[in-house]
Amino acid sequence: MCTIHRIITIGLWCVLLPWGRSLHAATFSFDLSSVPPIAQPAFLEAGNIWGGILVSNVPIKVKVNWFPLGSGLLGITFPNGRRDFPAAPVAQTWYATALANSIADMELNPGEKDIEVYLNATTNWYYGLDAAPGPGQYDLVTVALHELGHGLGFVGLAKKVGTEGSFGTLLASDFAPLTTSFPWPQLDTLPGIFDRFLRNSTPQFLVDLPNPSVLLGSAFTSNQIYWEGPHGLAGSIGSPVRMYAPATFALGSSCVHLNESTYPAGNPNELMTPNGTPGMANHWPGPIAIGIMQDIGWTLMPGIGMDELDHKTIRIWPNPVQHVLNLEWSTPAMHLSITDAQGCLMWSGNGRPSIVVGHLAAGLYLLQVAGEAHPVRFIKN
């Protein structure tokens, strides 16, 4: 027998900075009442991962609906929104309420959920937390992490009808029969903060085009939309960050994902691409998505993302890690070793795409690459 609690809160921890100010990791309050017990741990895991990346003193309220969405659709997410709130960095711009609450350091939407997630109840899900789905299975932690990313603000307000594109004209009826528990806002043809960082190949920011307009509609389906935020670009090590903008506009997919072919399965930035891959798992947003979160206004927990970018030979993710450390290397035959902070050898072996570290105690570890002067630091949660 088990008891299903309607509301589950996770992710409570903080870092005390030298001057006495605490950065509180984001916490999530999940309503999982419609979710089968076997699926609930995956959402808690996804919340823990995002909670270790983002800072917020206001709990993030998420309702998850276990719902038959039909074939070809894994999930869809609706973030609640606010604009022109106290301390809003950009006026006349929509922010996901989870982000707005973090910036304002207060709850701006009492009594309302921040994020509403629909997950397809008919999908062949893998419910484990070890990032090891079987052939034909979709890893639920991966998809939950992706959908929460949208709810946290990796989302825009683009829409195209006929040849005309627009920002801020989305209606609740566009997503029928799905509904939200919070009132649908009057968007007033205003963009979201995410939209303000999108540019075309000219380069010209899309929010500077007439709204609505045929010009904007053409841009949405040009296959040439890029992210122009400094942190997202840093996550791409200076290369252009290409967004998903196929020739046929797809509501809820176009302009709100990283480009699928640029960041395919196995790439460290694949999580926020539009299409899930059966038999694959990714339990970390990747440096570009983390940078985008910082661009739109999120404060990151100290040290997040640093060691994903600055090593010449190897890239690791996620960091911090809970179960599986993924690796991308330039020399496949390299010898690797993991030691704890005291220098005790915990693991050694040759290059491989992943290392299981779930058995290690929480703490700081060093991944040493043979021939490299400096190890890569990672944290085991």
The low-confidence residues of the chain, meaning pLDDT below 50, are 1-21, 306-310
Give me Rg for the CA atoms of the chain: 21
Judged by DSSP in three states, 306 sits in: helix
Beta-bridge partner residues of 161 = 164
* Distance from C-alpha of 339 to C-alpha of 347, rounded to nearest angstrom: 7
pLDDT at 134: 93
Strands (E), 263-342: 314-317, 324-329, 335-340
Q: What is the separation of C-alpha 219 from the centre of its chain, rounded to a whole number of angstroms?
A: 24
| All residues at 6 or more sequence positions from 85 whose CB lies less than 8 Å from its CB, including other chains | 95, 100, 103, 104, 108
pLDDT at 12: 37
Q: What's the pTM?
A: 0.81
Helices (H), the chain: 40-51, 97-104, 140-151, 214-220, 230-235, 287-296
pLDDT at 293: 97
Domains and CATH numbers, the chain: 7-296 (no CATH), 306-380 (2.60.40.3080)
